[in-house]
Amino acid sequence: MAEAPARVPGVEGRAGKFPGPSLIPALNAIQEREGWLPREELIQLSRDVRRPLYEIEGLVSFYPHFRTEAPQATEILACHDLSCWLRGSDEHIARLREEHGDAVIERSCLGRCDSAPVALAEHDLPERADMTRWPNDPYDTSGERYAVVRDVLAGRVDTAAIIASLKDAGLRGMGGAGFPTGRKWGLVADTPGETKYVICNADESEPGTFKDREILATQPHLVLEGMLLGMLAVGAEEGWVFIRHEYGPEERVIRREIDNLRDLGLIGPGRTIEVFTSPGGYILGEESALIECMEGHRGEPRNKPPFPGTYGLYGKPTLMNSVETFAHVPVIASKGASWWQAQGKGEHGGLKFFAVSGHVERPGVYCVPTGTTARELLDLAGGVSGGRNVGAIQPGGASSNFLGPGTLDVELDFGTLQAAGSMLGSGALVVIAEGTDLLAAATNVLRFFRDESCGKCVPCRVGSTKAHALLANGASADDVAELANVMRRTSICGLGQVALGPVMSVRDLSNGTHG
């Protein structure tokens, strides 16, 4: 990776940070070898790379994946977040503690919400045996794959035409923010610079969100082809898949497909794609925090502007999209914007992956036409478990507001969900059965955000802790309304801005709004 350029206005706060290269891969390697990070290993690393020990310790103390004590012979990681909580994780964890004692460690979402309540004895899970073909895959056989990239390299297709197709298709970022994909690609392509990067954000870590895990397992060729097309379109020679460390099986799938790309001659000298394994933390899903991590710093969000498209990884123009966004690019590039638009329902265009969990009969990942209603998606998942009625839904993951049963016919898309009082977010429909304590559910979500706050800004760090303490001790949503307003207005990034949104939406539901 290249060194950072001269400072530009807006990044003065980065003065004094070590320029790299990142020591996180070295720390990951030590922990994989030893099972933890012995102090003598950290001292030796400091000597080998001629970097101060306090810098290394600062990294180790920030990222939850790193261990400073030897692990027990047996450890069971148990999730306690919303999808698991709805399916009895409290009781599940209590039973595990009776059997295994201190070997049971409670953790934030492990990305396996379709198997809730989740407890893992180790992260080295088996890979999926099947290769599901989803409707966004334009290739009938494996031999046809990467046809669009081959056409671009052969000069038969112009990357400007691909960017135009993405704009015409109306494809938006599927990681949560929903920024127009074609516009983002065009901005990075038009930004001057000899060195540019492309990053696939595969760090989905929000409770209820696991669709990207499924796409990585079943469509690694589409994710990587989308990345390659992005690299060719913006003029980048280096691409990175930034993947959460809990996704070990999916990481192995991606690495094998990268090896396949080398064998096919589609990457190599002058055009590379590598994997960067996350050292943990939900905050790394925020693009600038992810970049800070890759540069070897604590994963704290940057103030914006500048944005990554102009000043990203090592200060270079950087194109970053989510797994699902990249996976949709090849079919749009090959079949055209009109085909993509026709896949939606009514006024909505395209296809959308949803992770469905909570009180449903068949939790899992579903690929449906954009504009499918929440009721239709719930029916695909077998309805509410036990034949119960719907009490509420979260249509866009943990950061989205709760909606009541009166909104089940809302069409699932960015604008329609915003008008209904929530958001499409990460594409995670969490279903909550009637009779569930919604304030307790929202407080569970707030605990996640409190635990995952990076601590950089006071409103998020202090506000989430204080609000959770109040709610856990019997306070109402009204009691934290002013605190929610302050956090929303003054937090640096989206984590603090939305942390109390679900709690306030419970108040709105009790007042008769939000369905």
pLDDT (tens digit per residue) in 481-509: 999 999 999 999 988 999 999 999 999 88
Q: Given pLDDT bands bounded at 50, 70 and 90, which one contains residue 123?
A: low
Q: Give CA–CA dist 9/200, Å, rounded.
A: 27
Q: Report residue 52 as tokens.
A: 């101060």
Q: What is the pLDDT of residues 434-450, one digit of tens each?
A: 999 999 999 999 999 99
Mean pLDDT of the chain, nearest integer: 93
Ranking 226-235, 298-307, 337-346 by mean pLDDT, the lowest is 298-307
Q: Specify which residues 384 forms β-bridges with.
A: 360
Q: What is the largest CA-CA distance in the chain?
A: 65
Q: What pLDDT was estimated at residue 111?
A: 92
Give the integer Cα–Cα distance in Å for 424 and 17: 36
Tokens, residue 442: 């929202």
State the sign of the Cα–Cα–Cα–Cα dihedral 150, 154, 159, 164: negative
Render pLDDT for 27-46 as a digit per residue (tens, 0 to 9).
999 999 999 999 999 999 99
Alpha helices in 154-219 (DSSP H): 159-169, 181-190, 211-218
Mean pLDDT over 467-474 rounds to 94
Look at residue 318 in the predicted model and tell me its pLDDT.
97
Indicate whether 19 pLDDT > 90: no
Q: Phi-psi category of 20—alpha, beta or left, where left has phi over 0 and alpha has psi -120 to 50? A: left
For residue 127, is pLDDT > 80? no
pLDDT at 4 over 60: no
Q: Which two tokens stand for residue 451?
A: 């635990």
- What is the average per-residue pLDDT within 194-223? 96
Of the given ranges (91-105, 123-137, 249-263, 365-379), which has the lowest mean pLDDT? 123-137
The DSSP-derived string for 427-443 is: SEEEEEETTS-HHHHHH
Query: Is residue 9 scored above 60 in pLDDT?
Result: no
* Separation between Cα atoms, residue 156 and residue 233, nearest integer Å: 14
Three-state DSSP string of 270-338: CEEEEEEECCCCHHHHCHHHHHHHHCCCCCCCCCCCCCCCCCCHHHCCEEEEEHHHHHHHHHHHHHCHH
Amino acid at 130: D
- Distance separating the N- and C-terminal Cα atoms of the chain: 50
pLDDT at 21: 82
